[in-house]
Structure 1
Amino acid sequence: MTGSTYLDYDKTLNKAFKMLKDDKLKSFGLFVVCGINLGLRIDDLSKLLFEDLRSDSFTITEGKTKKKRTLKINDHIKLALTYFDDDLRGYAFTSQKGTPFSSQHINRLLKQHFKGVGGGVVSSHSLRKCFGRRVWENDNQSERSLIYLSQLFNHSSTQVTRVYLGIQQEELDDIYMNL
Structure 2
Amino acid sequence: MTTSDYLNFDSTLNKAVKIIKTEKNYKLGFLIVFGINAGLRISDILKLKFEDLENDSISLVESKTNKKRVIRLNDNIKNAYELLKTRTDVRAGYIFTSNQSTVITVQYVNRKLKEIFGTKNIAISSHSLRKTFGRQVWSNNNETEKALLYLSELFNHSSPSITKRYLGIRQEELDDIYMNL
TM-score, L = length of structure 1? 0.94
Provide the aligned C-alpha RMSD in A: 1.6
Separation in structure 2 between the aligned mates of residue 38 and residue 19 of structure 1, nearest angstrom: 19
1:87 positional shift = 5.8
Matched residues in 2 for 1:23 and 1:161: separation? Answer: 35
How much has 1:102 moved relative to structure 2? Answer: 0.4
Give the match's secondary structure for 2:22: coil
Out of 139, 142, 151, the residue aligned to residue 140 of structure 1 is 142
1:93 lines up with 2:85 in the alignment: no
Map residues 137-176 of structure 1 onto 2, 5 A cutoff.
137-176=139-178
Q: Which has the higher contact order (CA 8 A, sep 6+)?
A: 1
1:28: Cα distance to partner?
0.2
Aligned residues of 1:33 and 1:76 also touching (Cα < 8 A): yes
Instruction: Please name the residue that 1:109 is paired with.
Output: 112
Provide the rounded CA distance (Å) in 2 between the counterparts of 1:57 and 1:41. Answer: 17
Higher mean alpha-carbon deviation, 78-87 vs 121-130, is at 78-87
2:28 alignment counterpart? 28
Greater shift in the superposed pair: 61-70 or 50-59: 50-59
Structure 1 residue ranges, 4+ long, deviating more than 3 angstroms after superposition: none
Matched, 1:130 2:132: yes
C-alpha separation between the residues in 2 aligned to 1:23 and 1:177?
Answer: 42
Q: Is the 8 A contact 1:51 1:90 kept in 2?
A: yes
Aligned AA (1:33): V
Q: What CA distance in whole angstroms lies between the structure 2 residues aligned with 1:43 and 1:2?
A: 19
The 2-side partners of 1:149 and 1:5 are apart by: 17
Deviates more, 1:123-132 or 1:98-107: 98-107
Unmatched 5+ residue regions in structure 1? Answer: none
Give me the TM-score of the superposition, normalised by structure 2.
Answer: 0.93
Shift of 1:51: 1.4
1:38 match = 38
Shift of 1:96: 2.8
Q: Where in structure 2 are there 5+ consecutive unaligned residues?
A: none
Letter in 2 for 1:156: S
